[in-house]
Structure 1
């Protein structure tokens, strides 16, 4: 019995301890003495003697000997506690987008920093999506949500939020258009296919970024915005054909105007941005902001050919890398005195060719104010066509060149890529506008 007690106590209180035989014998004696004491106490209790102490028995007072020093037990090796990996907090779509926007505006993205216009457009997409579908955790959206969003955009008036008639919430505007459809009434112009594609692309870009950062955001699965079809746009941007341009250049800015009101006929021809912008766009196919950024130093001569240097140096900005190019100046502009106009700015500390234009608008563009003035001028001279904005002159330029013997590759380089001297001269020789 004593052996069993000793083994059990060692296993419970000193697991792994190395105990020699002498120590075990002493432990057995202690166990026997303890058992004897327990039996003695129980016997006293059976006789009703509860005041007696077992130590009164002389046999129990015999000393057992020195108390042995037990070796320290070998510490048991326990596996370290592994705390559960803390789960990333699930973010709402609006919260995830805020992180995405900060990243894209930081300039760390491979495609470069977002411009202000891109930022505004993407923020508008998220606002529309959360209003129409709801602001939920990012992993809860399915393809059906994206499909519902696209269907709502197709019914959203183009003038929503801008016209007094459509100043209401997005969902209210969509429901009103549905009611008009049900009643068989005339419908407003709704968002174009191009605009809808832009919204869907912005949303898809967010989910592509979340997928790239899955470790942080925990998003797994297919992009819910991919795989949608859109059809063809019903509205097309018009162009300025030859008769339109002849009519435009027969208006007061180019034939003589009142200095205080340029849409009114008069005797003054004022050489300024209002005079040169349409001419440069028509004969060179430059984008509006590319024209607006021109400085005297950008008008250069290479191999005997005068060119406009379109670049992103200093504070200039271009649409993309392909937009950096040298564009030969058409003989028509030289005959009209463009080089003399430029020469007047070369000695100035600020050689910007359009001193009345300042960076303005949400994107800080030089052309912001001019765009408004050109539209106003077209209205006053009965030249306005909503499908034919200033930018349509660029499309007209390409169309005119395609009708000549100019090679398509040369045209593409002229409107978007740098040209070597030989190609520039070849294109210039075929220019017919």
Structure 2
């Protein structure tokens, strides 16, 4: 009987010690011998088994808010030298990007434009954060990167004078001059996607990437719907645009905005017409080769496909677009044949990229913006891309043009797996009827 009382007394003492240990902030589960069967199997505990109250943990250093982050705040301490390499791959961020780029280029998962963007984003990330090893990247570096994008003017490094200028100097100049700063929501999110792909690629190669990294936490959300980012040209806008001297007669071949009697049927004449009658993207049109103008079942078409000059936005962008009868009547095929005869591979060979990172269409942007402003006045939400919105909205109002035909014509997905994956191509006659449903612009 006394042995039982002793066991109960020992158990009570031990239970009180556990309660005190838990009240002091400890984890009872960490005490040796503590379990659901404590009173039966823990009754032989010695006084030495009673745990001491744990020491209070030291407060963690707070991470500065993104707007106050600097490279000094987030750069990790030097890494201890590893005795054995954790992977056979270089951990330099730029090396990871190059390996990923080669894989994407070989498998066709990304076009040249996307891969160029990825390299530029990674170069900017390394410049801003000072981090060169993918294993050193921390969430704070991602926050610093995005915070810096908020301080950059949208046109940073487009001029020759800024190409080699440090980012810190560009930000200081922007603050001093009072120009608008902050990249768009779409650009910030696209940069995060590129960084995320690089981190996943490094992890897939066996490199020890910080598992707590989460670029998606820094995604930005626009209050405006995607369809409100750009406004469509109205039918009246389009008529007014094509009443410009470029199409009605200009003073000389060089003074295209001044009225006269000279009509030059070059890239400036044809590209807006093709956009209005097809809804094709600017780069898709500007980057056409002479071989991309063909014929299918007796119908003159544009083959929107990747070529040596430019890629496409996505796989569904590759398509066949019939040429509107008005464009043919104006002599477009004669223009194409003249380019072939002259030995030009590029249909609009006069358009050249301003730099390796720019688009072909950037070469026409300055002149186009002035022509648009001459005809429509200041309308910042309307750009060359507004032709695409104009064509899409125009065909949506045509009840005879089915949704899957419109989607194929514009290079969109229908949004229905049955149509997108298993649906066949629309007949060329249906595509031609859809194009002809767009009204003549003059």
Provide TM-score, normalisation by structure 2. 0.64
User: RCO greater where, 1 or 2, for CA within 8 Å and sep 6 or more?
Assistant: 2
Question: How much does 1:352 deviate?
Answer: 4.4
Question: How much does 1:415 deviate?
Answer: 1.1
Alignment counterpart, residue 86 of structure 1, candidates 84, 88, 104: 84
Change (3 A) 1:354 1:373: same
Question: Secondary structure at the residue paired with 2:390?
Answer: helix
Question: Secondary structure at the residue paired with 2:258?
Answer: strand
1:38-77 equivalences under 5 Å are none
Q: After superposition, what is the alpha-carbon deviation per residue over 1:243-266, rounded to whole angstroms, capped at 9, x for unaligned?
A: 222221111101110123111111
1:10-21 equivalences under 5 Å are none
1:383-422 equivalences under 5 Å are 383=377, 385-405=379-399, 406-416=401-411, 419-422=426-429
- The number of residue pairs the alignment matches comes to 341
User: Structure 2 CA distance, aligned partners of 1:301 and 1:402?
Assistant: 26
CA contact (8 A) 1:293 1:366 kept: yes
CA contact (8 A) 2:325 2:436 kept: no
Q: After superposition, what is the alpha-carbon deviation per residue over 1:387-426, rounded to whole angstroms, capped at 9, x for unaligned?
A: 3332332222112211221222211100117642343244
Structure 2 equivalent of residue 308 of structure 1: 302
Structure 2 equivalent of residue 236 of structure 1: 229
Once structures 1 and 2 are overlaid, which stretch shifts more, 330-339 or 365-374?
365-374
Structure 2 equivalent of residue 193 of structure 1: 185
Alignment counterpart, residue 348 of structure 2, candidates 343, 348, 354: 354
Once structures 1 and 2 are overlaid, which stretch shifts more, 220-229 or 318-327?
220-229
User: Structure 2 CA distance, aligned partners of 1:228 and 1:364?
Assistant: 27
Alignment counterpart, residue 256 of structure 1, candidates 245, 249, 270: 249
Once structures 1 and 2 are overlaid, which stretch shifts more, 253-262 or 145-154?
145-154
1:25-424 equivalences under 5 Å are 86-88=84-86, 96-107=92-103, 112=108, 117-135=113-131, 137-161=133-157, 170=167, 188-214=180-206, 217-219=207-209, 221-232=211-222, 236-259=229-252, 260-312=254-306, 317-345=311-339, 347-350=341-344, 352-358=346-352, 361-363=355-357, 366-378=360-372, 383=377, 385-405=379-399, 406-416=401-411, 419-424=426-431
Change (3 A) 1:422 1:337: closer
Change (3 A) 1:296 1:149: closer
Question: How much does 1:228 deviate?
Answer: 3.5
Question: Secondary structure at the residue paired with 2:274?
Answer: helix
Question: Secondary structure at the residue paired with 1:276?
Answer: helix
Runs of 4+ in 1 over 6 A off after TM superposition: 89-92, 172-177
Q: After superposition, what is the alpha-carbon deviation per residue over 1:236-288, rounded to whole angstroms, capped at 9, x for unaligned?
A: 22332222222211111011101231111111111111111100001101222
Once structures 1 and 2 are overlaid, which stretch shifts more, 264-273 or 146-155?
146-155
Provide TM-score, normalisation by structure 1. 0.65
Cα RMSD of the aligned pairs, angstroms, is 4.0
Once structures 1 and 2 are overlaid, which stretch shifts more, 151-160 or 95-104?
151-160
User: Structure 1 CA distance, aligned partners of 2:146 and 2:213?
Assistant: 15
Matched, 1:431 2:411: no
CA contact (8 A) 1:91 1:137 kept: no
Change (3 A) 1:168 1:401: same
User: Structure 1 CA distance, aligned partners of 2:311 and 2:117?
Assistant: 19
Once structures 1 and 2 are overlaid, which stretch shifts more, 194-203 or 334-343?
334-343
Change (3 A) 1:193 1:261: same
Change (3 A) 1:290 1:169: closer
User: Structure 1 CA distance, aligned partners of 2:353 and 2:144?
Assistant: 39
Question: Secondary structure at the residue paired with 1:308?
Answer: strand
Question: Secondary structure at the residue paired with 2:213?
Answer: coil
CA contact (8 A) 2:293 2:303 kept: yes
User: Structure 2 CA distance, aligned partners of 1:100 and 1:343?
Assistant: 45
Question: How much does 1:86 deviate?
Answer: 1.7
User: Structure 2 CA distance, aligned partners of 1:293 and 1:141?
Assistant: 38
Q: After superposition, what is the alpha-carbon deviation per residue over 1:54-101, rounded to whole angstroms, capped at 9, x for unaligned?
A: xxxxxxxxxxxxxxxxxxxxxxxxxxxxxx972349999xx6222123
Question: Secondary structure at the residue paired with 2:131?
Answer: coil
Change (3 A) 1:220 1:355: closer
User: Structure 2 CA distance, aligned partners of 1:355 and 1:131?
Assistant: 36
